Amino acid sequence: VGLSASLIPFLEHDDANRALMGSNMQRQAVPLIRPQVPIVGTGLEAKAARDSRVQILAEGDGTIEYVDGKEVHIRYDRTEADRLVSFEDDLRVYNMTKFIKTNQETCINHKPAVKKGQRMKKGDFLTEGYAVQNGEVALGRNLQVAFMPWKGYNFEDAIVINEKVVREDLFTSVHISEYELEVRDTKLGEEELTPDIPNVSEEATKDLDENGIIRLGAAIKEGDILIGKITPKGESDPTPEEKLLRAIFGDKAGDAKDASLKAPNGVEGVVIGKKLFQRAKKDKNAKIREKASLEKLEKVHEKNTTDLKDLLLSKLQTLLKDKPSLGVANNFGEMQIGKGAKFNAKNLATLDYANINPLGWTGDSSIDDPINTLLHNYNIKYNEELGRYKREKFNISIGDELPAGVLKLAKVYIAVKRKLKVGDKMAGRHGNKGIVAKIVRAEDMPFLEDGTPVDIVLNPLGVPSRMNLGQIYETVLGWAGLKLGVKFATPIFDGATVEEIAQYIDDAKLPTFGHSYLFDGETGERFHQKATVGVIYMIKLHHMVDDKMHARSIGPYSLI
């Protein structure tokens, strides 16, 4: 089975069609700001989180020296032999990914998973977030569920949700939208980014910077100016009133019109990022500045590569110490240091370490192996420095690559917090999907004999015809896990049996297979029949009502 199918507990009790849906819908999960590890898993959640390579892992044993919301400092325990072959310091600084937009317009945000002074082992998680918690995949939340009809509101796969779930932000997610505006060279002249927009109030432009781009941290709502731009307009015969206004206020307003980018309908959020891309200007002063910048960059690059090579040579001399050579050749077979010649500072300095045969140092593996590790680490470090130099040189000399006719490109990133609302799609891991149809006050939800209101009410008719009984097994075992304070790993095709589940239910002193009497939250009366109650793992999917809702008053018939 694939990765997502291997994360479905009791897969063997689900029909193949529903298992396929369950697999696909896990890929559509939205990362929540408060995710939870499932009580009933398959044991592969930690493996999936580790192999995703989204989180930062400790590269060796060490101690956390400093931690904040943006970075983690860890001092690794290293021997002298480790230090000899490495170009890294004992103290490593890891920068976390903060609020980065994904292609699905969700948000990657790392949080520290460690404390200052904590001891770490190799492979331990330093961060969490983005659907990973406690080193395990955490796509959704564990909810107290009742399988029963509720006033027709969960008819045909609709879902009834407790308002507490919304209020406590259990299914709240952050979404990032990108808005961009191009500055073009028109027939009438160049457009311009500016906060000085004709016939626009100062109040509307108070948050724009000198480039006309809205400041970071600004709260925006629909219609607000995100990027201020003016574009030249053709001269028309001005009326006497316009002539008078131009005479009084200058002619700025006369030859340009507002072409700003405004926040579209329904958008309300906070500006968390902005970028301005532009071509490198090629006037005389710009060329002089470019030349000076390139010379400075060249000097820094030269110093960095020289320092790196000097460090390599000192490490090699420590390792080789007048040992005789077996004959060091380059990758083309040309001899660089003859057989029997002793290694010294002079002949080691002549070698091209990016192009060297790993065989032929001394013949002693206790020396040759560290040397080859050292050269591997050197080449990694050298290529990092070379890449940095080439990128910076490209940015200085060419600038940003923009399409023909585009002089500048401004981008603004807006973060929006979305709570769970009516119309959002939710699903379990067994293909049991549905749409939130009603959010009910906690006091009106069905409650158990001890007064606990359930979090979610699902329709029992969604189970038999679809033959995804895994959700019932999960519900019952999940309740036992919640009561006992334990988590279960029930591997697919080798999961817990009915007898084992019954034993855990018994240990937790819960009713057999979760069959409980529920009481109507509105009247307080007991429902006639028992219902299956338990804890089910639910995820919020990417199909959200805010993206789907569309309305228009007028427009062409052909618009679909």
**pLDDT tens-place string over residues 411-421:** 999 999 999 99
At 408, the pLDDT band (50, 70, 90 cuts) reads very high
* Alpha-carbon separation of residue 64 from 69, 76, 80, 95, 229 (angstroms): 14, 9, 21, 14, 48
* CA-wise closest residue to 496 among 7, 105, 9, 69: 9
CB-CB contact of 508 with 483 (8 Å): yes
Assess contact for 10 and 470: CB atoms under 8 A. Answer: yes
- Pairing between β-strand 219-221 and β-strand 225-227 as defined by DSSP bridges: unpaired
Report the distance separating Cα 262 and Cα 267, nearest Å.
Answer: 10
pLDDT value for 235 = 66
Query: Looking at the whole model, is its pTM more than 0.75?
Result: yes
Establish whether domains 5-43+138-171+420-545 and 55-129 are of one fold. no
CATH 3.40.718.10 describes domain 55-129: no
Residue 8 tokens, joined = 């479905």
CATH superfamily of domain region 5-43+138-171+420-545: DNA-directed RNA polymerase, subunit 2, domain 6 (2.40.270.10)
Contact 96, 72 (CB under 8 A): yes
CA distance 124 to 120: 6
Average pLDDT over residues 533-552: 91
**Structural element, H or E, at residue 165:** helix 163-167
Amino acid at 127: T
- Residue 65 has, within 13 A of its CA and on its CB side, a CA count of 12
Q: What are phi and psi of 480, to 5 degrees?
A: -60, -40
Q: Return mean pLDDT, the chain.
A: 91
pLDDT higher than threshold 80 for residue 468: yes
Residue 479 CA to residue 142 CA, distance in Å, equals 10
Judge whether 99 and 109 are in contact, CB under 8 Å: yes
| 428 within 8 A of 22, measured Cβ to Cβ | yes
**Residue 355: pLDDT over 90:** no
What's the pLDDT tens digit per position in 268-313? 999 999 999 988 777 788 888 888 999 999 999 999 999 999 998 8
How confident is the model at residue 244, as a pLDDT?
Answer: 80
pLDDT at 116 over 60: yes
In degrees, to the nearest 5, what angle opens at C-alpha 488 toward C-alphas 482 and 490? Answer: 140
DSSP state of 526: B
Spell out a b/e string for 508-528, using b for 16 or more CB atoms within 10 Å of the CB, else e: eebbebbebebbebeeeeeee
The CA distance from 212 to 404, in Å, is: 23
pLDDT digits (tens, 9 = 90+) for 206-263: 999 999 999 999 999 999 999 999 998 876 667 788 778 777 876 555 578 899 999 9
Q: Which of 69, 52, 66, 54 is nearest to 111 (CA)?
A: 69
In the chain, what are the domain boundaries? 5-43+138-171+420-545, 55-129, 173-279+405-418, 284-397
| CATH assignment of 173-279+405-418, among 3.30.1330.60, 1.10.10.10, 2.60.40.10, 2.40.50.150 | 2.40.50.150
Assigned token pair, 201: 């109030």
How large is the average pLDDT for residues 521-541? 96
**HSE-CB for 457 with a 13 A CA cutoff:** 30
Band of pLDDT at residue 337, cut at 50, 70 and 90: confident
Distance between CA atoms of residues 465 and 473, nearest Å = 16
Band (509; pLDDT cuts 50, 70, 90): very high
